[in-house]
Amino acid sequence: MTILNSKIPEGPLSEKWTRYKENVKLVSPANRKKLDIIVIGTGISGAAAASALGELGYNVKVFCYQDSPRRAHSVAAQGGINAAKNYKNDGDSVYRLFYDMIKGGDYRSREANVYRAAEVSNQVIDHFTALGVPFARDYGGTLDTRSFGGVQVSRTFYAKGQTGQQCLLGCYSSLNRQIKKGTVTMFPRREMLDLVVIEGRARGIITRNLITGEIERHSAHAVVLATGGYGTIYYLSTLAVNSNPSAAWKAYKRGALFANPSFIQIHPTCVPQLNDYQSKLTLMSESLRNDGRMWVPKTKGDTRNPNEIPEEERDYFLERRYPAYGNLVPRDVGSRAVKERCDAGYGVGKTGLAVYLDFRDAIKKQGKKAIEDKYGNLFELYKTITGKDPYEEPMMIYPAGHYTMGGLWVDYELMTTIPGLYAIGECNFSDHGANRLGASSLMQAAGDGYFILPNTISNYLADQIKTPRIPVNLPEFEESERSSIERLEKLLAVNGRETASSFHKRLGKIMWDYVGMVRNEEGLTKALSQIRELREEFWKNLKVPGSINGLNQELEKAGRVADFLELAELLVIDALNRKESCGAHFREEYQTPDGEPLRNDKEYAYVAAWEYTGHGNPPVLHKEELKFEVVEMKERSYK
Amino acid sequence: MKLTLKIWRQKDSKSKGRFETYHMENVSPEMSFLEMLDALNKRLVEEGGDPVAFDHDCREGICGSCGIYINGHPHGPVPGITTCHLSMRYFNDGETLWVEPWRAKPFPVIKDLIVDRSAFDKIQIAGGFISVDTGSAPEANSIPVRKQNADMAFDAAICIGCGACVAACKNASAMLFVSAKISQFALIPQGRIEAKERVRAMVEKMDELGFGNCSNTGACEAECPKKIKISNIARLNREYYKAY
Ligand SMILES: Cc1cc2nc3c(=O)[nH]c(=O)nc-3n(C[C@H](O)[C@H](O)[C@H](O)COP(=O)(O)OP(=O)(O)OC[C@H]3O[C@@H](n4cnc5c(N)ncnc54)[C@H](O)[C@@H]3O)c2cc1C
Ligand code: SF4
Ligand code: FES
């Protein structure tokens, strides 16, 4: 049985990372060249890691399924990236950023990791600025910041509504520099199909060339997963539509533990679903809540034009329920409040599944130009999608699946339970507990990739310098390749009548209805049996045209949906196990009389890490107890 | 609404392609163009046919994956948006749509509507970066940047690398794309240090890959979904002359 050792260094919280770095084993520059590292993913975490490892002189291979690394899902992040610079002189510090993340995560994350993420945040901003990322600036030439949901300081750096794009392109540029130098080799349009484990260590991967269909073997001394989140389990979400959990899921099935799978953040402000064919829900950045006010009419079913509804007939429900934070409450709190109003019949729009986000007062106070400077492109985006102009009438918004706090379990070194396999960025579970604070994911992804992993991986690789390059003709490679091909053939052989997307959509509905913003035992139990039925149907009635050879997008989709159908079950099992409400995980049975989540620290202050025990067997739960040495666990109040 | 689609079908890079006709009923004006293609593909798969291959990912106009030539325009007839943002409300009942891949020699067709844009990555690899190792950056505010310059750098930096500018240009020139990166870095002090090496390397690579010259017709600017300005090309030219 796997034993969880989180390897948290000794010493006071604020000195752990420094001490760790002082004592970590190093690899000499001459030896680095002899060590191969595979990085899967070119989002902010993967591209950052690959470039930093390349700079150190390791021999790096990077993979992504898009046609170019620049298109990884990180490109879509909008609002900003946090750092504890305290440029605004408003009392910010590394400690306060750490504290906000621990509190925001509802006390379900590991203190030492979170502190370190906050600690390296300033280096991340320095590095991006040096790479030429065009962050917003003030007239004196210094960097500007804004405040972002769930905190009281202004620490979010931004590049209009394209912060993710600009940070990702920064990472892409540093990656390109290494590709030019020859330290990094890029493999785009490749999908990782399996992880190769030899004598208990991660030693390589099997990929499919998405153009030729060729199945390829790649070996390395260490493998880094930077494969992003699985919010697309709801089918409709704010993620890029091809985002998927398959790489992490394959690692799970090869022995890596999967932590807190049911912790998924639902983002309160997204463009509501307009029609049945819709393939994605577009996020309207949280930054909008700095100036936008959320409201619904005080009367049920009020169909008047919102501009005609007078002030006293509007219910600014966030300001009413949470006077201290108002419209800036964290995402989980905001999402549930929106759902509560809509379920109670006060929702607006054609479906009643929407609330207003209104800029009228901000435009009046600051002028249209100031609002345009801050949110111009978001307003345009909204208009492009809906045909409505938010300068003239309030936006309509509704929550959507957005970010997965859960992911592969990693220790302080970001290593999974398989030696030599690392997980960074959104695909690990480490820093956001049960709810992520806005603008802290880009920060974590970049911190993991540029500053943390390159230090921790040497602790492992130092013992590998005597291991020669791993040959790809070992039996383990043969076995992984064979089972990958068999699986593709199995998908093709079903030859039923329903498309992979159609199954995905049906799964999404089950997940959204029973494993979304609000969960309860009855619904979860129902979801479990429905997922199992759907999975059976999938393997009986799936239709995939074409063959393994050549470009076959339906086959790609089918493989991912098959994994979603397995992960979905683990998600429900995790949600059933956690008999408390915390962060994004709201169990109806556990709430205060006024509808706020009720945590149970005595029994559930742990990370739930699940172990795969073979096809058809129930997963085994391992608990990592969370010890809070610095922060006191408190009720998370935003009132 | 009802539509007739004339879609370019090509099995792989070696085969010859041709237009196939598809009739679509019940197209909702609320669909995006790609969602309309999803619906077509669903039907094709269910009928045992071969779905139309096209690139896409974010579906919100930022990743640059999508890119289809529709009725003679890259990303369709509506200016300032990507194909994934093109709403079907812009088309009329009964219309015929011609749907093609980008056509440019440096972007060979891979299948149907998918082309190989790796030439763009090669240009970026040649010089689209600032040489700074992780860990060696100075404190972020130690180098102030004039706000106007930072804003202009941003306006250039939002290029999504979709390739519509090349597809729009009769010379298949990549000048708008290259000028966007050159401008972003030319406008800020961090990028000035290796400005000469950068512009030389990127232009040389662009020429080597077979992209054509700019003859100033402005088709790229008109079709760019991110409204990258052609004045960036003037800056690229200035930077290039200064580099020799
Ligand atoms: C709309 C939106 C807005 C957001 N805004 C913000 C924000 O303002 N601030 C913030 O901090 N966070 C934000 N986030 C969250 C943040 O963008 C992500 O958490 C973060 O970018 C994840 O980066 P990553 O490097 O972990 O993975 P990703 O960027 O998701 O990259 C995953 C990579 O893995 C590759 N990959 C995956 N599976 C495979 C496989 N099997 N084989 C080969 N390659 C594979 C993909 O090709 C891709 O390159 C936002 C998220 C969304 C959805
Ligand atoms: S300049 Fe415009 S058209 Fe050309 S690649 Fe960039 S975004 Fe696309
Ligand atoms: S799919 Fe990303 S820009 Fe269109």
Among A401, A436, A456, give the residue marking a domain's end: A401
A483 and A375, same domain (yes or no) = no
Q: Using only the alpha carbons of chain B, give its radius of gyration.
A: 20
Rounded to two decimals, the ipTM of the complex is: 0.98
Residues 234-263 in A contacting B (C-alpha not used; CB under 8 Å): 240-242
Contact B174, B123 (CB under 8 A): yes
Contact A241 B45 (CB under 8 A): no
pLDDT at A637: 77
Residue of A404, A401, A400 whose CA lies nearest to A423? A404
pLDDT at A374: 82
The side-by-side arrangement of strands in the sheet containing A190-198 is A190-198, A201-209, A215-219
Distance CA A601, CA A587 (A): 15
Distances from the Cα of B239 to the Cα of A451, A621, B182, B213, angstroms: 34, 61, 8, 16
Structure tokens at B19: 């237009």
Mean pLDDT rounded to a whole number for chain A: 96
pLDDT at A370: 93
Tell me the three state secondary structure of residue A597.
strand
The domain total for chain A is 2
A588 and A492, same domain (yes or no) = yes
Structure tokens at B202: 């990127």
Whether residue A496 lies within 8 A of chain B, CB to CB, comes out as: no
In which band, very low, low, confident or very high, does the pLDDT at A387 lie, cut at 50, 70 and 90? Answer: confident
Residue A582 lies in a domain: yes
Reported pTM: 0.97
Around ligand 2, the residues with Cβ closer than 6 Å are B 159-165, 176-177, 180, 224-226, 228
Q: For residue A10, with 0-12 CB atoms within 10 Å meaning exposed, 13-18 middle and 19 or more buried, which class applies?
A: exposed
Contact A132 B188 (CB under 8 A): yes
Number of H helices, E strands in chain A: 18, 19
Contact B36, B68 (CB under 8 A): no
**Residue A487 belongs to a domain with what CATH number?**
1.20.58.100
pLDDT at A373: 83
A379 and A500, same domain (yes or no) = no
pLDDT at B70: 98
Q: What is the mean pLDDT of each run of 10 residues along chain B (244 residues)?
A: 98 96 95 96 97 97 98 97 96 98 97 98 98 98 98 98 98 98 98 98 98 96 98 98 95
% chain B with pLDDT above 90:
99
Lowest-confidence range among A154-158, A384-388, B142-146, B193-197? Answer: A384-388
Among A386, A401, A416, give the residue marking a domain's end: A401
Instruction: Report pLDDT digits (tens) over B27-66.
Output: 999 899 999 999 999 999 999 999 999 999 999 999 999 9
In which band, very low, low, confident or very high, does the pLDDT at A596 lie, cut at 50, 70 and 90? Answer: confident
How many C-beta atoms surround the C-beta of residue A375 within 10 A? 26
pLDDT at A287: 83
How many C-beta atoms surround the C-beta of residue A392 within 10 A? 11
Structure tokens at A578: 């956690």
Whether residue A67 lies within 8 A of chain B, CB to CB, comes out as: yes
Q: Per CATH, is B117-132+139-242 categorized as 1.10.1060.10?
A: yes
The residue segments making up the domain with residue A330 are: 267-401
Number of H helices, E strands in chain B: 9, 7
Residue of A274, A196, A266, A269 whose CA lies nearest to A229? A266
Mutation for testing the B interface, residue in A73, A78, A82, A129 having most B CBs under 10 Å: A129
Q: What is the architecture, at CATH level 2, of domain B3-110?
A: Roll (3.10)
Around ligand 1, the residues with Cβ closer than 6 Å are A 40-46, 63-66, 72-74, 76-81, 163-164, 190-192, 226-229, 238-239, 243, 246-247, 283, 402-403, 425-427, 439-443, 445
Is the confidence at residue A292, as pLDDT, over 90? yes
Whose Cα sits closest to atom 5 in ligand 2?
B161
Whether residue B61 lies within 8 A of chain A, CB to CB, comes out as: yes
A309 and A394, same domain (yes or no) = yes
Exposure string for A311-349, b = 16+ CB within 10 A, e = fewer: eeebbbbbeebbeebbbbbbbbbbbbbbbebbeeebbbb
- The owner of tokens 């966007």 is B180
Contact B160 A165 (CB under 8 A): yes
Whether residue A345 lies within 8 A of chain B, CB to CB, comes out as: no
Whether residue B46 lies within 8 A of chain A, CB to CB, comes out as: yes
The residues of A assigned a catalytic role are 331
Distance CA A82, CA A72 (A): 20
Residue A178 lies in a domain: no
How many C-beta atoms surround the C-beta of residue B43 within 10 A? 15
What spatial distance separates the first Cα and last Cα of chain A, rounded to whole Å? Answer: 44
Is the confidence at residue A385, as pLDDT, over 70? yes
Distances from the Cα of A455 to the Cα of A15, A484, A615, B135, angstroms: 16, 33, 36, 12
- With a 6 Å cutoff on the Cβ, whether B58 touches ligand 3 is yes
Phi/psi region, residue B177 (left: phi>0; alpha: psi -120 to 50; beta: rest), is alpha
Residue A208 lies in a domain: no
Average pLDDT over residues A560-570: 98
pLDDT at A2: 62
Chain A residues touching B134 at Cβ < 8 A: 48, 51-52, 55, 127, 174, 450-451, 454
pLDDT at A594: 84
Domains B3-110 and B117-132+139-242 equal at CATH topology level:
no
A392 and A482, same domain (yes or no) = no
Percent helix, strand and coil across chain A, each to the nearest 5: 40, 15, 40
Name the residue type at position A514.
Y
% chain A with pLDDT above 70:
99
Is the confidence at residue A445, as pLDDT, over 70? yes
Tell me the three state secondary structure of residue A8.
coil
A513 and A391, same domain (yes or no) = no
pLDDT at B223: 98
Concatenating the DSSP letter of every residue in A427-487 gives GB--S-TTSPPTT-HHHHHHIIIIIIHHHHHHHHHGGGTTS----TTSHHHHHHHHHHHHH
**Residue A345 belongs to a domain with what CATH number?**
3.90.700.10
Concatenating the DSSP letter of every residue in A196-243 gives EEETTEEEEEEEEETTT--EEEEE-SEEEE-----GGGGSSBSS-TT-
% chain A with pLDDT above 90:
90
What chain A residue is nearest to B26 in terms of C-alpha separation? A277
Residue of A112, A116, A121 whose CA lies nearest to A86? A121
Of the partner residues B81, B111, B124, the one whose CB lies closest to the CB of residue A551: B111
Q: Where are the alpha helices (H) located in A297-359, listed in sequence order? A: 317-321, 331-343
What chain A residue is nearest to B141 in terms of C-alpha separation? A142
Give the pairing of strands A59-63 and A184-187.
Answer: parallel
Whether residue A350 lies within 8 A of chain B, CB to CB, comes out as: no
Going from N- to C-terminal start, the domains of chain B cover: 3-110, 117-132+139-242
Residue A395 lies in a domain: yes
